[in-house]
Amino acid sequence: MVGVDFTLIDGLDAVTGQTILSEVGLESECFPTVKQFTSWLGFCPGQKITGGKVKSSKTRPVVNRAANAFRMAAFSLTHSRSALGTFYKSFD
């Protein structure tokens, strides 16, 4: 249907790929930039700055199935021996 096999990406299975596609869709015209897409997913930290000091930089809570699918796919890489798993473990 899409022309790309998302299950070849480490961490993504068929259900996760279908969840992401059902939420985002095949056309990405509503997200002109990657920054807008990650902000919609709720992955960008919001910075509350007052007086030149950062008071908070938490990510905003979102109710988004695609964001949850991406988080589960990333967490599934914690025990993976792939290159993405090694990259993920380097941040721990």
Q: 0.85 exceeded by the pTM?
A: no
pLDDT value of residue 92: 63
Cα 43 from Cα 36, distance rounded (Å): 10
pLDDT value of residue 69: 92
Q: What is the pLDDT of residues 43-85, one digit of tens each?
A: 888 788 888 888 888 888 888 899 999 988 888 888 888 888 8
CB 88 within 8 A of CB 77: yes
Instruction: Provide the β-strand partners of residue 45.
Output: 59
Cα 86 from Cα 78, distance rounded (Å): 8
The neighbour count for residue 66, using CB atoms within 10 Å, is: 20
Cα 83 from Cα 24, distance rounded (Å): 26
